[in-house]
Amino acid sequence: MDLSASLPPLRILVVDDQSSTRQHLCSQLAAIGHHTLEADCGDSALAQFDGQHPDVVLLDVEMPDHDGYWVASQMRAHESGGWTPIIFLSSRDCDQDLWQGIESGGDDYLVKPVSSTVLQAKLRAMQRLRRMQSRLQAVSDELRHSNERLEKLSGEDSLTRLMNRRAFDARLEQEIACARRDQQTLTLVLCDIDHFKRYNDSFGHLAGDACLQRVAHLLRETCRRPRDCAARYGGEEFALILPGTPRSGAMTFARAVMRTLRNCNMLHPDSVESYVTLSGGITTCVPDADTTVEGLLRRSDDALYTAKSRGRNRFFS
């Protein structure tokens, strides 16, 4: 029976503390055209799994440093992106061992010694699943890309539901034109969460996302006038247009934002205060013929930089 037809060669990590077992398995696998990597203990298996990215792992259970169940759970935890099939090969043959093998992250559990035919058949099944998995991955990547494209077209940031940068720039262009025509004051505010990298480091990226959502909500609530608008300008950076607002009004707005943030008291153990704070840069002008989107953004960004360098948790105009 030739099961190897149409099965492309795999890179298989063979993990077993007994060198005779490893050699036997490796020669079986080589005979049907596969490439092998070898590990004689759990630590070596994990190092090769991370460094060599095998296509399949054949994993012993009883080893001197770690048992195979623990090794499998670590492999699952370290897996980045794709899925690597793990087949246990053990001399333990009670149902409870099989159960534990699957629970720890294994995909199959075979009892040693295993015939060449069974091994080939199991590898074939795993190969088929791997192919399906990579097709699914491709579909999900494609969906994510279309989502990003849609997000750009819709002008909305999907995390915070605020305007995204592209839509904001277009809106700022319009507001500059209106203010120039009506000779009205226009205020642009750029603000940035203080030490947000440390926030992620302390609480994790998901908590970071939730924090961004809360800050976005708070900024939206603080912009009370119908033509005020708030955007997520970049990672942890927000931008606001306050049409018809002079410098004094902008500072009142800034104080309101800082007060609300203080009251929210979102814990931040590693910032300038014990809670999440923002720094901001404010530009106010009555636009003339030379006023541009880029120019206003640059001035606000310079003011933001000054607020950061003077100690953060402040707005500078």
| Interface ranges with Mg ion (CB under 5 A) | 17, 60, 62, 192-193, 196, 236-237
Taking the complex as a whole, how short is the minimal distance between the CB of residue 302 and ligand GH3, in angstroms? 15
* One residue of 208, 243, 280, 287 binding ligand GH3 per CB under 6 A: 208
CB 293 within 8 A of CB 281: no
CB atoms within 10 A of CB 288: 10
**For ligand GH3, the closer CB: 160 or 222:** 160
Taking the complex as a whole, how short is the minimal distance between the CB of residue 130 and Mg ion, in angstroms? 26
Number of residues that bind ligand GH3 (CB under 6 A): 16
* One residue of 69, 88, 168, 196 binding ligand GH3 per CB under 6 A: 196
- Closest residue to Mg ion in the complex (CB): 62
Structure-token match 């912009």, residue found: 223
Please state at what angle helix 196-203 crosses helix 205-222, rounded to 10 degrees: 130
Torsion on CA atoms 13, 17, 18, 21, rounded to nearest 10: -20
Taking the complex as a whole, how short is the minimal distance between the CB of residue 301 and ligand GH3, in angstroms? 12
Residue 294 catalytic?
no
CB 199 within 8 A of CB 211: yes
Options 97-105, 141-149, 206-214, 221-229: segment touching ligand GH3 (CB under 6 A): 206-214
Binding of ligand GH3 at residue 193 (CB under 6 A)?
A: yes
Q: Could you say which of 156, 236, 237, 294 is catalytic?
A: 236
One-character DSSP codes across 103-157 = HTT-SEEEESS--HHHHHHHHHHHHHHHHHHHHHHHHHHHHHHHHHHHHHHHTB-
Question: Considering CB distances under 5 to 8 angstroms, the limit depending on partner class, which of Mg ion, ligand GH3, none binds residue 60?
Answer: Mg ion
**For ligand GH3, the closer CB: 27 or 158:** 158
List beta partners, residue 241: 188, 229
Question: Considering CB distances under 5 to 8 angstroms, the limit depending on partner class, which of ligand GH3, Mg ion, none binds residue 62?
Answer: Mg ion
Tokens of 15: 């993990």
Closest CA to 4 of 110, 83, 119: 119
* One residue of 175, 194, 228, 301 binding ligand GH3 per CB under 6 A: 194
CB 295 within 8 A of CB 172: no
List, by residue number, the catalytic residues. 236
**Where do contacts with ligand GH3 occur on this chain (CB under 6 A)?**
159, 192-197, 200, 205, 208-209, 212, 235-236, 308, 312
